[in-house]
Structures are given as structure tokens and as C-alpha cells.
Copies of this chain bind each other. A is one copy, B any other.
């Protein structure tokens, strides 16, 4: 279990009301940013301090692993210079504090516990650091600043694995965009939108590359899910959304693991297992043997999508 501190930008209102945190995947120049990478390090059950306008008004429980997704439409103008197409949403169950805490007023009580690197606050002035977003802190920070929180972590976990409402808004915004795109004929539009529900056109395209679940070897069509390698939400074109090379046919439990970044594949087809997936769950899901089998090598057209999955979806 880890402890986190987020310095909200202008979007705190939306993040609190929507039950999540959102950051771009990379800096404007394409480089990595530890505060963004932390989004993928956070796990269900971790605790988060929400710091905004110099005070802490909310504390949250991470409700699920980060989900790759574009900038939420509710952010509107905020974060204009972010790459709006590639971000991570971290589902968080927020809880309002009975009375907000102003860390600067208690600085001497906890500043010795601030991390040397990637601190959310300046340990001398007690001001929030502008470049910080999601920072890891130690439990002592929570204890000194907030005392006993009495947060029900389990209640927050119940929602993990379900689709956060904020994601539904994002999906609807994407679908509206597709339906307003006049460069697409109406059949293509329907396929792009349907591809989430109907899946048909996409699934048919995948069959040119795959004909069974790579992990379990199941080939009964009704037991296979057409799974995007680069997530549907992050595809930048109609071509990517419908490209058969961007899809796998997976049994439903394998699809869940792949979609949530708990497994990925090497170019040679071997299963990569995230450290966040427990051996116990692998065994209970009956996948231990299947994970050991030699894989089926991927087609060269599938590799760029796999690269994306390993780099941005697969959990560190």
C-alpha cells in the first residue's frame, strides 16, 4: 500500500466531482515525467491527499489501476498545452474532510518527511510546487497532517473493474466526434461507433491476423472478445480503430487482464505478466500453464500497436 499526494491544477473541481485523477502520459516535449508515471504506479487501495488552493479538502482511495484515456471533455480549456489524446485516468473515491487542513500552517510538524526528490511542497516555504502532480509520500505525512482518517478502503475497492462514469462521458464525446466527422461515410461512422458494442466490423478485420485466443487457444467465436491492442479511446484515426492489426481475439478473462494492463505480449508472442497481477489470481483464473507456453509470433503490422500497449497500458 502506497501513499500519494496530488497537486491539482485548475481541474480539481472536475477531478473531485468525477472521482478520478487525470494526467497526460508525457511532457509536452515527449519526455517522461515521474509525476505522470506515478499514475501507473498507484494501485487500488492506495490513499491520496488532494491538495488545491493551498489546502487539503479531500482524501481519496485509489479505486482501480490507471486507465489510458484522452483528456476529459469537462476540462475544457484547462491544460491546453497537454497532449490531449494520451493520458491516464486514475479512478479515486474522494471523501471530504470535516475541516480542510492548510499544510503550510503545520509545516514544521511534517516537513522532515517530505521526499528529497519529487516533493509536492517546498520543504522550506511550505508552498505547493507547480511542476508536481502525483507525488509519492510516506505514511507519516498522512499521520501528522490528518491524524486517523477512518476511511473505508474496502468500499472504494468495490468499484474497481467497473467503468467510471467519467469514462462514459469521454466515450460519448468520442462517438459524437465520429458522427460529426464529415470525411467519414455513414457506414464507416456506424462501424467506428458500433465497434464498441457491435464489434462486428472490427472483429472481422482481426480474423485476418488472429483466429483464436493466443493465451488459452479458445477458438469458439462466442467465447472470444475483440480486444483493441492500442485502446479504442486513444486511437487517433478511423483507420486505427478498425485496423485488424490493432486487435486480438481473447477469452473474456484474458481480455480483462490485457485491457487493464495486467498482461502484455513480447513480439515473439510470449506473455508478459505485470508485477501487479498476483500469482494467486493467475492460478485461480487457471492461466498458470497457458502463460508458460511458447507464443505465436506477431505479424509486423501488429508490432507498433503492441509497442504502444507495452509502453503505455502494461502496468509497471
| A interface list, Cβ under 8 A from B | 44, 64-65, 155, 157-165, 168, 194, 197-200, 203-204, 207, 213, 216-218, 220-226, 251-253, 255-257, 260, 278, 281, 284-287, 289-290
Do A160 and B222 contact each other (CB < 8 Å), given the known contacts A165-B194, A252-B253? yes
Q: Which residues of B contact A203 (CB under 8 A)?
A: 158-159, 162
Do A220 and B281 contact each other (CB < 8 Å), given the known contacts A197-B168, A253-B251, A286-B290? yes
Query: Is A256 touching B223 in the complex (CB atoms < 8 A)?
Result: yes
Name A281's contact: one of B65, B199, B218 (CB within 8 Å).
Answer: B218
* Minimum CB–CB distance for A290 against chain B, Å: 7
Query: Is B284 touching A162 in the complex (CB atoms < 8 A)?
Result: no
Q: Which 3 A-B pairs have the closest CB atoms?
A: A286-B286, A160-B222, A252-B252
Q: Which residues of B contact A165 (CB under 8 A)?
A: 194, 197-198
Q: Which residues of B contact A223 (CB under 8 A)?
A: 161, 253, 256-257, 281, 285
CA distance A157 to B225 in the complex (A): 13
Query: Is B222 touching A161 in the complex (CB atoms < 8 A)?
Result: yes
Query: Is B198 touching A163 in the complex (CB atoms < 8 A)?
Result: yes
Determine the residue in chain B with the shortest Cβ distance to A204. Answer: B158
CA distance A253 to B284 in the complex (A): 12
For A163, A220, A222, which residue has the most chain B Cβ atoms within 10 angstroms?
A222
Query: Is B164 touching A222 in the complex (CB atoms < 8 A)?
Result: no
* Minimum CB–CB distance for A40 against chain B, Å: 15
Q: Which residues of B contact A221 (CB under 8 A)?
A: 44, 157-161
Query: Is A164 touching B198 in the complex (CB atoms < 8 A)?
Result: yes
Do A64 and B222 contact each other (CB < 8 Å), given the known contacts A198-B162, A252-B256, A253-B253? yes
A to B CB contacts below 8 Å, 17 in the list:
A64-B222, A65-B222, A158-B204, A158-B207, A161-B221, A161-B222, A162-B197, A163-B199, A165-B194, A213-B284, A216-B284, A218-B281, A218-B285, A220-B281, A223-B281, A252-B256, A285-B286
* Minimum CB–CB distance for A90 against chain B, Å: 13
* Minimum CB–CB distance for A277 against chain B, Å: 9
CA distance A290 to B203 in the complex (A): 30
Query: Is A217 touching B284 in the complex (CB atoms < 8 A)?
Result: yes
Q: Which residues of B contact A281 (CB under 8 A)?
A: 218, 220, 223
